Amino acid sequence: MGGVQPLPGSFRDPSGNVYQVEGRIFRTVNECFSQDFDFVTSTGLFKKLSAEGLLLPFEVVSSEILKLLDPKPRYVLETPRFPFISFPYEWSFSALKAAALLYLRIHMQSLEVGVTLSDASAYNIQFQGNQPVFIDHLSFRRYQSGEMWVGHRQFCEQFLNPLLLRAFFGISHNAWYRGTQEGIGTGEIRRLLKWPHYWKWNVLTHIVLQDLFQKTSTKHTKSLQDHSLANASFPLSSFKAMLEKISHWISQLKPLNKGGSTWGNYDKTCSYSSMETKSKKQFILEFSQKVQPTLLWDFGCNTGEYSETALNGGARNVVGFDFDQGALDGSFHRATAKGLSFQALFMDAANPSPNQGWNSQERESLQSRASADAVLALALVHHLAIARNIPLVQVIKWLITLAPQGVIEFVPKNDPMVQELLSLRQDIFPDYTLENFIAFLSEKAVIIKKETVSKSGRVLVWFKRK
């Protein structure tokens, strides 16, 4: 294991790195950070936060396990492995809000025992099912009396500003965040503000004044070094009050849904009859009971109704994907209310998250992060093949590559949903037939079971890759 390399997204912090060895996850603590780590450990904060489910637990193991020489770590921590890693630009508004509140809660508890957080990166949080968990043990360090909140700007860019984009303007953060990776700049949000926004104290504090200070510091860096603001002392009581106030503000934020959601209420307004829904659930239940997938991907998950069915059948973890914000928020609230091991992420199936960041490796693509045991693709194929002009054969081949087994739904042209897609365009899809769907699928997979579940001829097919 002498050639062990850190994970692609773990290279910026000199305090330590994260490594994967034979499916196990290790985090190193280098000598330069050992005093801070020892201090935080002595306060009992790590154990307390882990016991509350707020922080990823760890076990100190032999530093020889990685056989690293340069730098040789002071400690090696082993942590549990997540079934799937997600990124902030894939989270829904509700998930990003939950992650922001987790960060603030942890920071406030840390200050109570003389500890602060050295940064405010949203990438330091992952989800276990639907629950956010802080994962970076090297962000904790000893608090210095009078110090400012050094992560304030980063918190605003990676948590607050993306939330305000949706809460103030009804614009989802996902595409913008993915394009920049480091969040949404305060100056960019400020340019979107209208006069009524300026009357809000929180907006003045966290956007307007911060943007002005950033611009001033950029232009007058040298003179600012001697300015009283640069050397100001920030009382601990004011630090705590600041975190409490921004936490209260964020907890009150709600999405501004301009025009509503196309699919958020689809499970209530769709053309399915109760018998059709029952048939689909029974099919998915049987599939899940037989396959017992550790990780199942649900493409076009909507509000998570069928993901829940798969979990009831024996799936251990489900990650759903959808592009509709209302559906994602509905999935989040379903998982929260029922305690499901289910996370719903934003994704356009025709444009999934790619490898990106430094050296095109820092943030891995969807398929590079994990291998699913099973896949669901219900009411998805026609959206790709007809709405997005992706050849049917390519859609089928892509779905088969995602997992060794799965369930795919074929929706025929005479179905009301497909008719709606074709109502404003020419039908240039002669290959879009059930016969071709079965033929293309049979080239790469064995069909285990096939069932018609609607009067319009919707068909569910359980496949197993050859």
Are 86 and 328 a contacting pair, CB within 8 Å? no
Mean pLDDT for the stretch of residues 366-376: 93
Query: How many distinct structural domains can be found in the chain?
Result: 3
C-alpha distances (whole Å) from 419 to each of 69, 277, 359, 416, 436 are 64, 20, 44, 5, 19
373 lies in some domain: yes
Q: Does residue 163 sit in the same domain as residue 299?
A: no
Other residues' Cβ atoms within 10 Å of the Cβ of residue 377: 24
Are 330 and 264 a contacting pair, CB within 8 Å? yes
C-alpha distances (whole Å) from 192 to each of 60, 164, 224 are 48, 10, 28
Listing DSSP states for 384-441 in one string gives: IIIIS---HHHHHHHHHHH-SEEEEEE--TTSHHHHHHHTTS----TT-SHHHHHHHH
Q: Does residue 442 sit in the same domain as residue 396?
A: yes
Tokens of 273: 């009859």
379 lies in some domain: yes
Kindly tell me if the per-residue pLDDT of 209 is higher than 90: no
Task: With cut-offs at 50, 70 and 90, classify the pLDDT of residue 1.
Answer: very low
7 lies in some domain: no
Rounded to an integer, what distance in angstroms lies between the CA atom of residue 173 and that of residue 181? 11
Q: Does residue 327 sit in the same domain as residue 355?
A: yes
Other residues' Cβ atoms within 10 Å of the Cβ of residue 435: 8
Q: Does residue 361 sit in the same domain as residue 457?
A: yes
pLDDT digits (tens, 9 = 90+) for 403-443: 999 999 999 999 999 999 999 889 999 999 999 999 999 99
Q: Does residue 44 sit in the same domain as residue 187?
A: no
Kindly tell me if the per-residue pLDDT of 312 is higher than 70: yes
Kindly tell me if the per-residue pLDDT of 114 is higher than 70: yes
Q: Does residue 294 sit in the same domain as residue 351?
A: yes
pLDDT, residue 225, reads 46
Mean pLDDT for the chain overall: 91
C-alpha distances (whole Å) from 465 to each of 333, 373, 398, 400, 447 are 34, 11, 12, 7, 9
If one compares 208 and 292, the residue with the highest pLDDT of the two is: 292
- In percent, how much of the chain has pLDDT > 90? 80
177 lies in some domain: yes
Rounded to an integer, what distance in angstroms lies between the CA atom of residue 466 and that of residue 383? 26
Task: With cut-offs at 50, 70 and 90, classify the pLDDT of residue 273.
Answer: low
Alpha helix ranges (H) inside 44-185: 45-51, 93-111, 152-155, 161-169, 174-180
Rounded to an integer, what distance in angstroms lies between the CA atom of residue 49 and that of residue 52? 5
pLDDT, residue 228, reads 47
Task: With cut-offs at 50, 70 and 90, classify the pLDDT of residue 269.
Answer: very low
pLDDT digits (tens, 9 = 90+) for 374-413: 999 999 999 999 999 999 999 999 999 999 999 999 999 9
383 lies in some domain: yes
pLDDT, residue 174, reads 97
Kindly tell me if the per-residue pLDDT of 338 is higher than 90: yes
Q: Does residue 234 sit in the same domain as residue 196?
A: yes
Rounded to an integer, what distance in angstroms lies between the CA atom of residue 328 and that of residue 93? 8
If one compares 98 and 263, the residue with the highest pLDDT of the two is: 98
Kindly tell me if the per-residue pLDDT of 299 is higher than 90: yes
Q: Does residue 210 sit in the same domain as residue 107?
A: yes
Tell me the whole-structure pTM to 2 decimals. Answer: 0.92
Please identify, among 252, 283, 306, the residue that sits at the C-terminal boundary of a domain: 252
Rounded to an integer, what distance in angstroms lies between the CA atom of residue 258 and that of residue 19? 44
Sheet holding 295-299, edge to edge: 342-346, 317-322, 295-299, 374-377, 405-410, 459-465, 445-452
Give the domain CATH number at 442. Answer: 3.40.50.150
Are 243 and 116 a contacting pair, CB within 8 Å? no
Q: Name the strand (E) or helix (H) holding 115.
A: strand 115-117
Kindly tell me if the per-residue pLDDT of 212 is higher than 90: no
Task: With cut-offs at 50, 70 and 90, classify the pLDDT of residue 245.
Answer: very high
Tokens of 274: 């109760």
Q: Does residue 300 sit in the same domain as residue 223?
A: no
Q: Does residue 461 sit in the same domain as residue 370?
A: yes
Sheet holding 24-29, edge to edge: 18-21, 24-29, 75-79, 59-61
Please identify, among 39, 55, 79, the residue that sits at the C-terminal boundary of a domain: 79
Tokens of 3: 């050639």
pLDDT, residue 224, reads 43
pLDDT, residue 270, reads 52
1 lies in some domain: no
Task: With cut-offs at 50, 70 and 90, classify the pLDDT of residue 314.
Answer: very high
Please identify, among 27, 60, 79, the residue that sits at the C-terminal boundary of a domain: 79
Rounded to an integer, what distance in angstroms lies between the CA atom of residue 393 and that of residue 31? 55
Rounded to an integer, what distance in angstroms lies between the CA atom of residue 251 and that of residue 248? 5
Mean pLDDT for the stretch of residues 229-254: 89
Mean pLDDT for the stretch of residues 252-264: 71
Rounded to an integer, what distance in angstroms lies between the CA atom of residue 349 and that of residue 339? 27
pLDDT digits (tens, 9 = 90+) for 188-202: 999 999 989 988 899
pLDDT, residue 267, reads 52
13 lies in some domain: no
What lies within 8 Å, CB to CB, of 317 at 6+ separation is: 83, 84, 129, 294, 295, 296, 341, 342
Rounded to an integer, what distance in angstroms lies between the CA atom of residue 235 and that of residue 237? 5
Q: Does residue 73 sit in the same domain as residue 99?
A: no
Mean pLDDT for the stretch of residues 141-165: 96
Q: Does residue 127 sit in the same domain as residue 201?
A: yes
How far is CA 443 from its chain centroid? 34
Kindly tell me if the per-residue pLDDT of 337 is higher than 50: yes
What lies within 8 Å, CB to CB, of 131 at 6+ separation is: 53, 98
Mean pLDDT for the stretch of residues 135-160: 96
Tokens of 434: 């059930």
pLDDT, residue 424, reads 85
pLDDT digits (tens, 9 = 90+) for 23-77: 899 999 999 999 999 999 999 999 999 999 999 999 999 988 898 877 889 999 9
12 lies in some domain: no
Residue ranges making up the domain that contains 431: 266-465
Is residue 24 classed as helix, strand or coil in its secondary structure?
A: strand
76 DSSP 8-state letter: E
